[in-house]
């Protein structure tokens, strides 16, 4: 039995309003959720307070991004201090949409990880290769390099979850096969054992993201090194409950 607590994050992205999110929150609050699974919902920053005040306390809340300092002249940004002030305990950093739509560099993501952890926020740190990188056979090279920048900025691994999200599978309806996901997760764990420590490799949750649905979640959850999910579109639907309960 894995000592790692199964972790399911829902990334709402830039979706929802108070009415629809209120209904979703009500569904989650009244559902029977596996008590052995840690659940965190990533809300748009303008709804962090709303989500935290409405969601049952057993369900965590995450911001979808933050900046690398506590305050200052950074129009449009939010800081870990502000996130914590809303009672929110997590932040998603390095999501492929931040990297590829908004041009965030590995270096900036590393700085954000360091500051979020110094501020006692939990970090869901995202990595993953694009389709051309997978086809060129450099998946490992890409994800190891991304993981190294994150690792160089982590002192306490107990507050970090790694989310492997092959970019070609996000929102495309293409899911990495359970075998493809397991292969990368296993290699990531081996990289951690070699480059950080055996203890960290064995304890850090490595979760999978990329078109996870009620239909694909059970077989993915059965893989030895898949410790949970970061769910996009399906986290806005009732099937999110089935995904949370995928790990029997």
Give me 40's structure tokens. 């965190």
Beta bridge partners of 230: 9, 209
Task: Choose the catalytic residue: 38, 95, 115, 133.
Answer: 95
Tell me the C-alpha distance between 221 and 216, whole Å.
Answer: 9
Q: What number of other Cβ atoms are within 10 A of residue 5's Cβ? A: 12
CA 74, 79, 83, 85 dihedral sign is negative
**165 tagged catalytic:** yes
**107 tagged catalytic:** no
Could you write out the DSSP letters of every residue in 59-103? SEEEES---SSSSSS-TT---HHHHHHTT--EEEES-HHHHHTS-
**Distances from the Cα of 180 to the Cα of 3, 174, 235, angstroms:** 23, 12, 22
Give the helix, strand, coil percentages of the chain, each rounded to 5.
45, 15, 40
Task: Choose the catalytic residue: 38, 133, 165, 247.
Answer: 165
The torsion angles phi and psi of 38, rounded to 5 degrees, stand at -85, 130
Q: Which residues are catalytic?
A: 95, 165
């Amino acid at each position: 039995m894995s000592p790692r607590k199964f972790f399911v994050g829902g990334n709402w992205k830039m979706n929802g309003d108070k009415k629809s999110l209120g209904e979703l929150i009500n569904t989650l609050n009244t559902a029977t959720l596996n008590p052995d699974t840690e659940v965190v919902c990533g809300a748009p920053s303008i709804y962090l307070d709303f989500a935290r005040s409405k969601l049952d306390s057993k369900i965590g809340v995450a911001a979808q991004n933050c900046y690398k300092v506590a305050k200052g002249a950074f129009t449009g940004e939010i800081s870990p201090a502000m996130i914590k002030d809303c009672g929110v305990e997590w932040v998603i950093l390095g999501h492929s949409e931040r990297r590829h739509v908004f041009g965030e560099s590995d270096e900036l993501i590393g700085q954000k990880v360091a500051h979020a952890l110094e501020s006692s926020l939990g970090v869901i740190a995202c990595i993953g290769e694009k389709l051309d990188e997978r086809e060129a056979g450099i998946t490992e090279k890409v994800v190891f390099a991304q993981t190294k920048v994150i690792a160089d900025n982590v002192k306490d691994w107990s507050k970090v979850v790694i989310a492997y999200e092959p970019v070609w599978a996000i929102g495309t309806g293409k899911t990495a096969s359970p075998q493809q996901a397991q292969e990368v997760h296993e290699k990531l764990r081996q990289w951690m054992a070699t480059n950080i420590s055996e203890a960290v490799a064995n304890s850090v949750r490595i979760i999978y993201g990329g078109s996870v649905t009620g239909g694909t979640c059970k077989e993915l959850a059965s893989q030895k090194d898949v410790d949970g999910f970061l769910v996009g579109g399906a986290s806005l639907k009732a099937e999110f409950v089935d995904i949370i309960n995928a790990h029997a």
